[in-house]
Amino acid sequence: MPRRSILSATERENLLTLPDAKDELVSKAGICIALKAAKLWQELIINWQPWKMSADDLASLRVRKPLNEADRLQLAALQEVHVLPARLAELAAWMMENGEKGEQEGFI
């Protein structure tokens, strides 16, 4: 029996579509990517939590990189445009305060 998707074709396409010009400034920030993914869960009224995206997770990485000016602008814009869930708000604040970011490679 074929599996039935809980997402429509349009919803699947939107998941893979780049953000609108309005969101373009913050489209590369991991927090923005998490918010876009969370939107699918929220539309289905399913609770979600970001995984490995807390300030403590970032602080514990063996390798972190300094924020550059573009990163700071992205974070500032993200904080202005969105009401962030508590964990992501704490992460964004930690990043700004400490001037560091993490990358997926930091978990390897």
| pLDDT tens readout for residues 14-32 | 554 544 544 444 445 788 8
pLDDT of residue 12: 56
CB 37 within 8 A of CB 71: no
Nearest Cα residue to 73 out of 28, 39, 35: 28
Q: Write out pLDDT tens, residues 59-68.
A: 999 889 999 9
State the pLDDT at residue 27: 47
Give the separation between CA 23 and CA 32, rounded to whole angstroms: 9
User: CA 43 to CA 57: how far, in whole Å?
Assistant: 27
